Chain A
Amino acid sequence: MRLRTLVWREIFERKSQLLTSFLAILLGITVIVSIKNISFYSEKAVAREMDSLGANVLVLPKSATLQDYYAADMQGETIPEEYVTQLALSDLQGLDNISPKLSLPVELRGKTFTLTGILPKSEFQAKAAWQGAGIFSRPIGCGASVGMMGADDKKTLARKRVIETLEDREVLVGADAAAALRLKDADPLEVLGKKFTVTAVLPQTGTVDDCRIFAHLHTVQDLSGKGAVINAIEVIGCCQEISKGLVAKINHLLPDAKVVTITQIVQAQSKMNQLMSRLSLIFLVIIVLVGGASIANYMYANVFERRREIGTLMALGADSFLVLRIFLLKALLLGVVGGIGGYLLGTALAVMLGPKLAGVPVLPMPILALWAVGISVVLSLTASYFPARRAARLDPCATFQEI
């Protein structure tokens, strides 16, 4: 006979009464674990998506509408190139890279393509004033552009949307455009009467970029005849700074431009994550209230039902601490089993329902087991403490019929 034997036997003797409390804690933990698990993978998917887009802030003309992130600069409306200088010279923290763009529709061999002017990184470094602003001398690592600045391969433009160098007569051709025009590296290409050399054919991206031809911004400005204007500025901003209000600061700096973040583009996913996060909090409150009340109610009833047994134990010499331990050990077992069960059930639900609810694959997260058991045990012990204390303070003579 040990304390755990006494507790274990009692649980199995009256398991049906314990079932409601057990179910309350099990289901509560199940829901929280599945929501946490799905939202973790959903947030990861959003982060991955943001990373794949490269830049995470867009500066557009005020009247621009945003249907497709990749085609944000193809709307005809323009903003002055001066905005790039303003951004570069500003004291805004968290600007990892700035990439202005100007796009023109061009017709080549009977088909329409987009000629997009971009400013290579070397252009920024060439301007002493901009260099002084220190955009590229700032330590990077917080934005999505980590590791991209040293890349020599011009094909990184397809993935990173930033390029190191681009000469006046060089063009980069998107995969679909290259296929349609039968172009390969080093081929000549004439666009709007100007002769270029294909520096690189970009890999397939599955976006409108595949139909673009990229040239130096100032060359495209000359060809367009519109002067020093651009359609959009792509900014790689530090995520932490974005969350601290970088967008609002850019808006303040450039009041005549529209500033949007990728979070707005992946809004549906973000909203789902926010919903998950709120639901998780709501369920946590519900489990604390309902689960806690259910356990406390059960424990009070259990103490009442067992008062003769408690009194007998006291008559046999049990002290109040032992009685307290009997009930708290029972609560601990309830919490541990409820937490483990809730974790297993919640994980199974998340893995099964995650792809349907959030459209992301979900894998088990062992760390949530600790979290689930922790919440469950703390809740169970807290809810049981006062009933257990009442048991420990029970008048032992209540065990007798005659007083």
Chain B
Amino acid sequence: MLRMENVSKSYRHRGQTVIALDGACVDIAKGEFVSVVGPSGSGKSTLLLMLGGMLSPSQGRVLLEGQSLYDLTSDARARLRKKNVGFVFQTFNLVPYLTALENVQVPLFLAGADDKMQEQAAVGLLERVGLADRLDHKPSELSVGQQQRVALARMLANDPAVILADEPTGNLDPETSQQIIEFFEEFNEEGRTVVMVTHDPKAAERAKRTLRLQNGAIISQKEREEAFRAA
């Protein structure tokens, strides 16, 4: 499903070369739930952005369903994301002047759905994440947990095969974090591939496989015992 072939990313910062990712090779199969852990600045988010076609590597290739992402134009990558990838952000990134319903409608609008279809689908998704009574609330009128659930509903809007989550529980209390992780597990059980960057060891343990990064390099890959047993 997702594949990184010897991917490196370096950039210049105040005259010095910073290596964000160093020769990463990863294979993520369809339906996997992978967590990416490591200290701050280890390259976790860089890896996630590259998997989502948002940040081009200095060298190496990133493939989604066999298609080399960075051989495409940025607009073609945007179209690919719209069809296949759902992003979840640590700070939710909801559009502040739109209601919860309208925020969920955005990906559907981008996909060209008509008004009626947009509304029906968005209401259904918000019901699924338990926010049927908050449709007309703007992000500032919602708690952080509710905002993240709106973000989850928005991410699901175009029924993505791949979910890329950047510290989805980073701003949440333990109870809400638990709820969010349960949602990810549920999405994964539906057959979606989930890649989740996290600092939270408990959240990371819920994934079927954990990638550990340090100084831009993948230093270990560990699979959950239950996963082995299930296999």
> Which of B54, B55, B90, B105 contacts A1, CB < 8 Å?
B105
Enumerate chain B residues within 8 angstroms of A5, measured Cβ to Cβ: 102
Binary flags per residue of B108-120, CB closer than 8 Å to A gives 1, else 0: 1111000100100
27 contacting pairs across A/B (C-beta < 8 A): A1-B98, A1-B106, A1-B118, A2-B115, A6-B98, A9-B98, A9-B102, A13-B96, A308-B93, A309-B95, A313-B106, A314-B54, A314-B78, A315-B52, A315-B87, A316-B107, A317-B83, A317-B107, A317-B158, A318-B82, A319-B74, A320-B74, A322-B110, A401-B90, A401-B91, A403-B20, A403-B49
Binary flags per residue of A10-51, CB closer than 8 Å to B gives 1, else 0: 101110000000000000000000000000000000000000
Residue B222 at the A interface, CB < 8 A? Answer: no
Binary flags per residue of B77-100, CB closer than 8 Å to A gives 1, else 0: 011011100010111010111100
A residues apposed to B, CB below 8 Å: 1-3, 5-6, 9-10, 12-14, 308-309, 311-322, 396-397, 399-403
Nearest B residue to A5, CB-CB: B102
Query: In the bound complex, do residue B102 and residue A317 qualify as a contact, i.e. CB atoms below 8 Å apart?
Result: no
Enumerate chain B residues within 8 angstroms of A6, measured Cβ to Cβ: 95, 98, 106, 109
Residue B147 at the A interface, CB < 8 A? Answer: no
Enumerate chain B residues within 8 angstroms of A317, measured Cβ to Cβ: 78-79, 81-83, 107, 110-111, 158
- Cα A321 to Cα B105 with chains together (Å): 19
**Shortest Cβ-Cβ A-B pairs, 3 listed:** A317-B82, A13-B97, A1-B105
Query: In the bound complex, do residue B98 and residue A397 qualify as a contact, i.e. CB atoms below 8 Å apart?
Result: no
Q: How far is the CB of B36 from chain A (nearest CB, A)?
A: 12
Nearest B residue to A393, CB-CB: B74
Nearest A residue to B158, CB-CB: A317
- Cα A399 to Cα B93 with chains together (Å): 8
Residue B44 at the A interface, CB < 8 A? Answer: yes
Known contacts A1-B105, A317-B79; can you find 9 more A-B pairs with CB under 8 A?
A: A1-B108, A9-B102, A313-B106, A314-B78, A316-B107, A319-B74, A397-B49, A401-B45, A402-B45
Query: In the bound complex, do residue A316 and residue B115 qualify as a contact, i.e. CB atoms below 8 Å apart?
Result: no
Enumerate chain B residues within 8 angstroms of A322, measured Cβ to Cβ: 110
Enumerate chain B residues within 8 angstroms of A2, measured Cβ to Cβ: 109, 115
Enumerate chain B residues within 8 angstroms of A403, measured Cβ to Cβ: 20, 45-46, 49, 55
Q: How far is the CB of B90 from chain A (nearest CB, A)?
A: 7
